[in-house]
Structure 1
Amino acid sequence: MKQPTYFLSHGGGPWPWMDGDFRQAHAQLEASLQAVPSALPEAPRAILMISAHWEAPAFTVQTAARPGMLYDYSGFPPHTYEVQYPAPGDPALAERVVALIEAAGLPAARDAQRGFDHGAFCTLVPMYPQANVPVVQLSLKQGLDPAEHLALGRALAPLRDEGVLILGSGFSFHNLGLMFNGRGQAPSVAFDAWLQSALLSPEGRAERLRAWAQAPAARQAHAREEHLLPLMVAAGAAEGEAGSCNYHETEYLGGITASSFRFG
């Protein structure tokens, strides 16, 4: 059965391994991630993960059979630099992804050394805590062109009929300078309202995403758009299909409005 695609807000740093107030701030997000597997038509044979935390000159595919870990955060407790998410890779799927990208006339590359970054493993651990679903990561392309990433999604769409769950991991609002001083509330509300309007219906969705920077509070929500670009891939892979919001809260980290979306 055809798998849906998702754009998932992935939360802050290594939050699944934290406790106290910081962990509690992720309670609604955690519940939404835990609910994803039961909402699928069947268990995926593998996951293709597009994380905001990997950019490369070409769309680069993780090819390792046993990817390691990449602790791409700072200032967290020592134990968070030892956590493991030992999901296997899938070299055959990696080659299939390369072939689809190249067939679409897009640039592709391979990386046998890249480990899972926190955009991947912090999203996956609530969903599949046993790490028993193979995972392949795929980079964004430097330049962060929305049209290129929508085209990437279209190229990857056949994977959905092959049991592959395509996940874009980023954040619907990502301006750290505004998150922690109370000034992010209004722009997060405005940009989230635009996302809800733009994403739920397929009509005109691609055109609106290509012009996302014209949305209300767009550059306050994403001063740099790497955390939004995984959305383009998820939406492109489900072009013409309806969207729904599977996570929404208005008090993330004390006042930010944040959302995640499903397509198909």
Structure 2
Amino acid sequence: MSQPRQLSRRAALAGIGGAAVGVALGGCRCSAQRKARPVSKQSAGSSSAKRMPAVFLPHGGGPWPFIDERVFGLPGMWNKMREYMIKLAMAPPEKPKAVLMISAHWEEALPTVSSAKSPPMLYDYYGFPKESYEVKWPAPGQPELAQTVRDLLERAGMTTRADDKRGFDHGTFVPLKLTYPNADMPTVQLSLMKSLDPRSHIAIGRALEPLRSQGVFIIGSGMSYHNLRELFASMKRQQSVVNEDSKRFDAWLGEAMARDAAGRETALVEWQKAPSARACHPREEHLLPLHVIAGAAGNDAATLPYRDVVMGAHVSAVHFG
């Protein structure tokens, strides 16, 4: 077997973190006075559909499933994450009508929805082997669902945009290529807000909760630990040295998610008070998809079906419903 390509520090950090790209190109502001249309049955299925879960998952580093695993460190390190993502297809009680993905790798001033019928691939990582830029996941978009998302957010008093050029970034196609390898799942992306305000992201999720009863599987894709400097140091060591900051933060996360809806929302709003919070999230864009998912959870209890140590850091997935 040939030796894996060695990444520079700069390339590795860029690949793990990705660039937040995709300024809204084709969108338009929604008028606050515009009457919101009803939730589209065409786009999201009938209200008799079984309630879908809302899931926050860690998407790993760059294109990890599609390259030599030794690039990132110890062989087998990603096995549990890979297995978790494959089995994620069994989490909903029936096949979803569509996926609404909130990726840590897309930020806009306003909540922005991808509205292309056939979204392109967005390889928002750098310095990886050639084959990682040949990965395809040609799932369809769903403009009707995109409009429904905007309508629901507008009803909650938010101004939104649509982007008909935005492609699937690696926060979307990396996990979903494992979960839905046939690329037959209609998928729409929703951006984070550049403000990174925790309350605003919980409110976004709360407005979108009705979609879960209409066949839409809502997924937040980020990382429960995302300190690139420390992840790079662990990769350079290529040995299992557990990051104590991540251990403390992950323990807090489990305790916070065990609270009732009001308690966990308070914990997420005040997440910076958590043990080692800023050591684990120097910038919080990889945590905020969890805020959206917690908002969409309603009163559902949380479970943490995936917990692991990757690149020396504790990481977890959080499921509701």
- Using structure 2 for the length normalisation, give the TM-score: 0.80
Secondary structure of the equivalent of 2:233?
Answer: coil
Secondary structure of the equivalent of 1:181?
Answer: helix
Residue matched to 2:273: 214
What's the CA shift for 1:118? 0.3
Structure 1 runs (4+) deviating above 3 angstroms are none
Alpha-carbon contact 2:108-2:194 (below 8 Å) kept: yes
**How many angstroms apart in 1 are the aligned matches of 2:111 and 2:229?**
29
90-99 vs 184-193, greater mean Cα deviation: 184-193
Task: Please point out which of 228, 247, 256 is paired with 1:189.
Answer: 247
Residue matched to 1:258: 315
Alpha-carbon contact 1:202-1:239 (below 8 Å) kept: no
Secondary structure of the equivalent of 2:174?
Answer: helix
> Aligned pair 1:169/2:221, yes or no?
yes
> Aligned pair 1:26/2:78, yes or no?
yes
Alpha-carbon contact 2:122-2:167 (below 8 Å) kept: yes
* Superposed CA offset, 1:77-110 (max 9, x none): 0121121110000010000001001110112100
Residue matched to 2:139: 87
> Aligned pair 1:14/2:63, yes or no?
yes
What's the CA shift for 1:239? 2.4
> Aligned pair 1:247/2:306, yes or no?
yes
Q: For 1:109-188, what aligned pairs fall within 5 Å after superposition?
A: 109-182=161-234, 185-188=243-246
**How many angstroms apart in 1 are the aligned matches of 2:125 and 2:224?**
19
> Aligned pair 1:38/2:86, yes or no?
no
Residue matched to 1:201: 259
* Superposed CA offset, 1:185-210 (max 9, x none): 00000100010000133240101100
Q: Which runs of 5+ in 1 are unaligned?
A: none
Alpha-carbon contact 1:178-1:184 (below 8 Å) kept: no
**How many angstroms apart in 1 are the aligned matches of 2:93 and 2:247?**
32
* Superposed CA offset, 1:208-257 (max 9, x none): 1000011000000000000000000111001221000021013x12x211
Residue matched to 1:5: 54
Alpha-carbon contact 2:52-2:93 (below 8 Å) kept: yes
Alpha-carbon contact 1:173-1:222 (below 8 Å) kept: yes
Alpha-carbon contact 1:16-1:125 (below 8 Å) kept: no
Residue matched to 2:124: 72
Give the structure with higher Rg (CA).
2
What's the CA shift for 1:184? 6.7
The alignment-based identity, stated in percent, is 49
What's the CA shift for 1:26? 1.4
**How many angstroms apart in 1 are the aligned matches of 2:217 and 2:78?**
23
Equivalences, count: 262
**How many angstroms apart in 2 are the aligned matches of 1:225 and 1:173?**
10
